[in-house]
Structure 1
Amino acid sequence: MNKREQTVFVLVDVQGKLSEIVHESEKMLTNLRKLIQGLQVLDIPILWLEQYPDGLGPTNEKIARLLEGTTPIPKMTFSAFKTDTFKEQLQLLNRNQVLIAGIETHICVYQTAVDLQLNGYDVQVVEDAVSSRTNENKEVGLRKMAALGVQVTSVEMALYELMERADDPAFKQLLKIIK
């Protein structure tokens, strides 16, 4: 069970044209917006990644707009855990629970989640906020992550789990975001 003070969110490579052509892209982008806004209400830190931004382009504007005031971490490795800047920023946060979402499920999300898991982090992939170019690749990525110990969650489940209580001051704000 994720705890607010122990959780960090890792947003993986929701960039350029790819972010608009992955399977059910609009649904994924909508869910990512809800997730990011909800996590911001709950004061959860966000590490924002971009794979080879010169080639793949910047983060999708619908997402980047929500992250103003923060800077994406560029990477060339499929697993962010193999990028020093990411590891340094993650360690500075001193949190051991990771929510992860983005694209592509079977490549960068998968490799990052598994490396985090193997290095002692408690990792949950947000199933309704990840995608790949094909649904088959998304499903393979989710199954393989689960087989390796990464838990699967959803936007609503993650936000409510972090909130814990209906009398939490964030409850009404989150309700507006989720609906």
Structure 2
Amino acid sequence: MLNRYNTGLVIVDIQGKLATLVHESEAMIAQTLKLVQAAKILDLPIVFLEQLPEKLGPTVPELQAHLDDIPAIVKSTFDGCGSEDFLQAIDAASVDNWLVCGIEAHICVYQTAMSLKQREFGVELVQDCISSRTRENKQLALTKLNQAGIQLTSFEMCLYELIKDANDSVFKRVLPLVK
């Protein structure tokens, strides 16, 4: 089970035109926005990646508006762990578990999640906050990652798991995100 005192959020490459071209992009971006807002309420460390933003464009404005206080980690490798800045950020977060969301599921999300697992982090994919240009590639990535021992979750499932108790003071603050 997730513990909010030992869990962080990695956002992978939700940027530029590609973010609007992935399967069910509007729903994925909307759910990810809720996830970011909840992570901030829960005071989870957030690390977010951008793949060559000078070519692909910046993080989508909806998310960027909630990430202004967090610097994007720019990378050229598909695997976020190929960036020394990313490795430093995840080490500095001092958590053992990472929720992972972003695009594309079968490329950058897949490679980053696999590398985090190889580095002995607990990794859970927030599947309603992940996409690829095709539904099939998303499903293939989720299947392959799950077979490798990476857990699947959803926005609501991880949120309730992190909060644990309806009497917790943060529950009332995050409840509007679920409704």
| TM-score, with structure 1 as normaliser | 0.99
2:113 paired with 1:113: yes
CA distance in 1, matches of 2:98, 2:159: 13
2:73 paired with 1:73: yes
Per-residue CA deviations over 1:104-134 (Å, capped at 9, x if unaligned) read 0000000000110111000000000000000
- Name structure 2 gaps, 5 residues minimum: none
- Matched with 1:153 is 153
CA distance in 1, matches of 2:5, 2:178: 21
- Matched with 2:18 is 18
Cα deviation for residue 76 of structure 1 reads 0.6
Cα deviation for residue 36 of structure 1 reads 0.6
- Matched with 1:162 is 162
Per-residue CA deviations over 1:47-101 (Å, capped at 9, x if unaligned) read 0100011110000001111111111000011111111000011111111100000
Question: Counterpart amino acid of 2:76?
Answer: M
Where in structure 2 are the equivalents of 1:16-165 lying within 5 Å?
16-165=16-165
- Name structure 1 gaps, 5 residues minimum: none
CA distance in 1, matches of 2:175, 2:164: 13
Partner of 1:10: helix, strand, or coil?
A: strand
CA distance in 1, matches of 2:2, 2:55: 35
Per-residue CA deviations over 1:13-37 (Å, capped at 9, x if unaligned) read 0000000110000000110011111
CA distance in 2, matches of 1:64, 1:28: 15
What do you get for the CA RMSD once the two structures are aligned? 0.6
Cα deviation for residue 178 of structure 1 reads 1.4
Cα deviation for residue 173 of structure 1 reads 1.1
CA distance in 2, matches of 1:75, 1:57: 13
Question: Counterpart amino acid of 1:175?
Answer: L
CA distance in 2, matches of 1:81, 1:96: 15
CA distance in 2, matches of 1:69, 1:34: 17
CA distance in 2, matches of 1:6, 1:158: 13
CA distance in 2, matches of 1:73, 1:82: 11
Partner of 2:5: helix, strand, or coil?
A: helix
Percent identity of equivalent pairs: 44
CA distance in 2, matches of 1:46, 1:93: 8
Question: Counterpart amino acid of 1:54?
Answer: E
Matched positions, count: 179
Partner of 2:87: helix, strand, or coil?
A: helix
Partner of 1:5: helix, strand, or coil?
A: coil
Question: Counterpart amino acid of 2:53?
Answer: P
